[in-house]
Amino acid sequence: MGVRRATVDDAAAIERIRVETWRATYRGLLPDGLIDQLQPNVERRRERLRMAGPSELVFVAQEGVDVVGYAFAGPERARDPEYAGEVYAIYVLPAAQGKGHGRALIRECARALASRGLTSMLIWVLRENQIGRGFYERLGGTAVREKQLEEFPGAEEHVEVGYGWKDTRGLVA
């Protein structure tokens, strides 16, 4: 088990994980039509990985040779005055959950953000996602913000909760 920086060669694995985890996590929480239409877009992911700027952090978690999770992080996107860093996305395949991969990904994101002077961190999670919320709470995150989800048509009826860490040193230790 380990975490490393993602490469362009990880695009297919990241897309497979994105689709599988969305289907498992959000079925029944988000509209079925949205879940059913999810498809991997490997070329788009490959291009995004290729064009990632220096402030964009992308990590993958491995179990043996298999990539089983990923996380994207960087500067907080809404210029929040209290939280400088943000984990934009973190997903671990359902079959690989509960083995420490998510914790290792969060730790690596916090470490990389701190190395850039971003020692506070925010992550957003769908309010109904009790598993995700419990995970962040076990890691010491506190629910500090709420906002409407706006990422797709019909999302406005859903709310995301922002979990914050004012000081990520505890996560990095």
Reported as a single tens digit per residue, the pLDDT across 21-60 is 999 998 888 888 888 889 999 999 999 999 999 899 999 9
pLDDT tens per residue across span 97-116: 999 999 999 999 999 999 99
Domain boundaries, the chain: 2-172
Report phi then psi at 134, rounded to 5.
-60, -40
Per-residue model confidence (pLDDT) at position 30: 85
Among 1.20.59.20, 3.40.630.30, 3.30.70.120, 3.90.1150.10, name the CATH number for the domain at 2-172.
3.40.630.30
Backbone conformation region of residue 71, classed left if phi is above 0, alpha if psi is from -120 to 50, else beta: beta
Contact predicate 133/161, CB 8 Å:
yes
Q: What is the pLDDT of residues 74-103, one digit of tens each?
A: 999 999 999 999 999 999 999 999 999 999
| 106-164 confidence digits (pLDDT tens) | 999 999 999 999 999 999 999 999 999 999 999 999 999 999 887 666 666 789 999 99
Residue 172: its pLDDT value, please? 86
- Residue in this structure with the two tokens 């969305």, named with its chain if needed: 22
Q: Which amino acid is at 50?
A: R
